[in-house]
């Protein structure tokens, strides 16, 4: 089951082949130097409060743009659950992690829907989802799953696109403004503790689970 929007093939599999090709292209774009100019992962993760020894869930991790740096920051005493529905994206992540033997064992790759993960209940210190919430169809179910996996007092971090016109990114009509995202989080029991601007096109909301 996949709670994120997708298109199913209706042409005997040709669409599936094209879809895989598109995923490879998208993965490379997500890992591009251009993205790093706009989103510095280490600066973002530091602002999110990731520390050594934490257990972190990177929900909708894609090819691991943030995952690798999260693993470096939590260290060998920590753990990162990297969750995504795309085998292509997870393959990119696995290959990148393998090249970094010092952190490869810190990352647990999970091919799973972000709303129905296999992460143990009450095991996560920080749940991180980047450019994901706007794309979730059943946001209530997703945030219920986030609550299930988080320890009381865990930090919940929503990084997403501002609802403004940009040269790239998701369609404007499906983006969530900061106020809308905060209301969605609040309606699911998450009080936003801090709002941060992330470059010209993104924002980040920090919440505390269980409050």
Full-model pTM: 0.86
Report H helices in 75-138: 87-98, 101-104
Residue 21 reports pLDDT greater than 90:
no
Cα–Cα distances in angstroms (integers) from residue 167 to residues 26, 63, 100, 162, in the given order: 16, 22, 33, 12
- CB-side exposure of 201: number of CA atoms within 13 Å? 16
Mind listing the pLDDT tens digit for each residue in 133-186? 999 999 999 999 999 999 999 999 999 999 999 988 899 999 999 999 999 999
Q: Whole-angstrom Cα distance, residue 144 to residue 159?
A: 18
Reported as a pLDDT band with limits 50, 70 and 90, residue 209 is confident
**Phi/psi of residue 163, nearest 5 degrees:** -85, 70
Q: Is the pLDDT of residue 202 over 60?
A: yes
Q: Can you spell out the DSSP letters for 17-63? A: HHHHHHHHHHHHHHT-HHHHHH--HHHHHHHHT--TT-EEEEET-TT
Tell me the per-residue pLDDT of 40-50, one tens digit each, with 9 for 90 and over: 899 999 999 99
The domains located in the chain, with CATH, are 39-208 (3.40.50.150)
Whole-number Å distance between alpha carbons of 126 and 4: 21
Any idea which of 73-82, 88-97, 106-115 has the lowest mean pLDDT?
88-97
pLDDT at 121: 97
């Amino acid at each position: 089951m996949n709670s994120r929007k997708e298109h199913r093939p209706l042409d005997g599999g040709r669409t599936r082949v094209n879809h895989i090709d598109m995923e490879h292209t998208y993965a490379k774009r997500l890992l591009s130097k251009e993205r790093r100019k706009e989103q510095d992962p280490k600066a973002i993760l530091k602002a999110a409060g990731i520390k050594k020894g934490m257990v972190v869930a990177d929900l909708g991790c894609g090819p691991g743009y943030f995952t690798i740096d999260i693993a470096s920051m939590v260290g060998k005493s920590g753990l990162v659950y990297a969750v995504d529905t795309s085998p292509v994206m997870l393959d990119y992540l696995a290959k990148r992690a393998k090249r970094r033997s010092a952190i490869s064992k810190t990352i647990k790759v999970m091919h799973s829907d972000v709303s129905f993960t296999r992460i143990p209940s009450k095991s996560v210190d920080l749940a991180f989802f980047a450019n994901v919430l706007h794309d979730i169809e059943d946001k209530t179910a997703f945030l219920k799953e986030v609550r299930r996996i988080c320890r009381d007092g865990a930090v919940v971090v929503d990084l997403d696109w501002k609802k403004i016109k940009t040269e790239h990114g998701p369609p404007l009509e499906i983006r969530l403004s900061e106020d809308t995202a905060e209301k969605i989080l609040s309606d699911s029991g998450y009080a936003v503790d801090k709002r941060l601007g992330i470059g010209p096109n993104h924002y980040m909301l920090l919440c505390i689970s269980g409050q």
